[in-house]
């Protein structure tokens, strides 16, 4: 079956071509939709090194796979059950320099094998993750003291520092966030994304973000509580609150990613209504031999 890889210069062009295919597996492809949404809402953030899009079609024009990359970040690979489409992407992207890959486990393994053969680079799985989807929240049996609210201008410095702390702890291998204060500003502006905070005794003790809109949902994360305040149920209750609020706002789904190496968080998210959808691997490519 002949396969055709097509590059797309603009996000709207990419979604016009690949959007219907991606929506068939919306949970599995929520990151591609979410990044596309961010590119639409804040194109200025991607002006220095424009995003790169590609789709793969069979000889009948049916899209069977897609990718997106916002340099210097990893390539994001869609869900696909057509492994020859993954091979076609390896061939088409072979001239590029890729730091890594994020994609469904099977497709990521196929791409990695082809990429290392073609480039001589070595590869290693940095993080094994799982995508979860929620359609109905289950409140915790024993919520902690306090209540939630949306982020406000007075929270800017706190959010900025916590965004950095989360990144350093959860994804130390990722490039540093170039402007963490801008993340806080976007949450506070409430344009396509929201920041949720839990307060106990007048002090903010946990934060949860919601961003990365999909056709019918949104991604929840980051979820962060300072180490000294963990184990009290703040993050669980705030994730419930943020997820419930998004459903009230008209979302059909909420999505989140978990690290499979952290069984505690996986158990907690399932307890509040998140159901596992698929596993994804974050792969790092190192210099060639």
HEC string for 3-42: EEEEEECCHHHHHHHHHHHHHCCCCCCHHHHHHHHHHHHC
Hey, where are the domains in the chain?
Answer: 3-129+281-288, 137-272
In this prediction, residues 147-158 reach a mean pLDDT of 98
Please give the average per-residue pLDDT across 212-230, as a whole number: 97
- Give the pLDDT score at 288: 57
Q: What local confidence, expressed as pLDDT, does residue 102 receive?
A: 98
The answer on pLDDT for 5 being more than 80 is yes
Note the pTM of the prediction, 2 decimals.
0.94
| Structure-token pair, residue 210 | 């919601």
3 state SS of 89: helix
Domains 3-129+281-288 and 137-272 share a fold: yes
Contact 132, 288 (CB under 8 A): no
List, in sequence order, every residue forming a beta bridge with 69; answer none if it has no partner: 52
Statement: residue 1 has pLDDT above 70: no
C-alpha span between 284 and 174 (Å, rounded): 10
Over range 20-41, report the average pLDDT.
97
Average pLDDT for residues 190-206, to the nearest whole number? 94
Average pLDDT over residues 213-224: 97
Q: What is the CATH number of domain 137-272?
A: 3.40.630.30
Whether residue 224 contacts residue 207, with contact meaning beta carbons closer than 8 Å, is answered with: yes
Average pLDDT over residues 114-133: 96
Mean pLDDT of the chain: 95
The model's pLDDT over 47-99, given as tens digits with 9 standing for 90+, comes to: 889 999 999 999 999 999 999 999 999 999 999 999 999 999 999 998 899 99
Assigned CATH topology for domain 3-129+281-288: Aminopeptidase (3.40.630)
CB pairs under 8 A, 24+ apart, for 44-51?
45/182, 46/70, 50/9, 51/11
The pLDDT of 130-141, averaged and rounded, is: 96
Per-residue pLDDT band at 171 (split at 50, 70, 90): confident
Q: Residue 28: its pLDDT value, please? A: 98
């Amino acid at each position: 079956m002949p396969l055709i890889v097509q590059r797309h210069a603009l996000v709207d062009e990419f979604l016009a071509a690949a959007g219907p295919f991606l929506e068939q597996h919306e949970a599995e492809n929520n990151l591609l939709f979410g990044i596309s949404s961010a590119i639409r809402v804040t194109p200025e953030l991607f002006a220095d090194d424009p995003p790169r899009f590609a789709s793969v079609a069979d000889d009948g024009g049916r899209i069977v796979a897609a990718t997106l990359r916002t340099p210097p970040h990893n390539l994001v690979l869609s869900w696909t059950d057509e492994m020859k489409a993954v091979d076609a992407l390896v061939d088409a992207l072979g001239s590029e320099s890729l730091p890594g890959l994020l994609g469904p486990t099977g497709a990521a393994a196929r791409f990695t094998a082809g990429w290392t053969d073609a480039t001589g680079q070595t590869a290693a799985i940095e993080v094994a993750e799982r995508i979860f989807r929620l359609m109905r929240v289950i409140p915790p049996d024993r919520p902690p003291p306090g209540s939630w609210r949306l982020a406000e201008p007075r929270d800017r410095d706190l959010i900025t520092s916590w965004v950095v702390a989360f990144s350093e702890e959860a994804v130390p291998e990722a490039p540093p966030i170039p402007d963490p204060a801008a993340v806080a500003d976007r949450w506070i502006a409430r344009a396509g994304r929201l920041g949720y905070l839990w307060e106990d005794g007048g002090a903010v003790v946990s934060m949860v973000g919601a961003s990365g809109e999909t056709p019918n949902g949104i991604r929840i994360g980051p979820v962060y509580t300072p180490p000294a305040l963990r184990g009290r149920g703040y993050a669980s209750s705030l994730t419930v609150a943020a997820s419930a609020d998004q459903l009230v706002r008209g979302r059909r789904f909420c999505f989140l990613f978990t690290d499979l190496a952290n069984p505690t968080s996986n158990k907690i998210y399932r307890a509040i209504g998140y159901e596992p959808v698929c596993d994804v691997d974050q792969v790092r490519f190192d210099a060639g031999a």
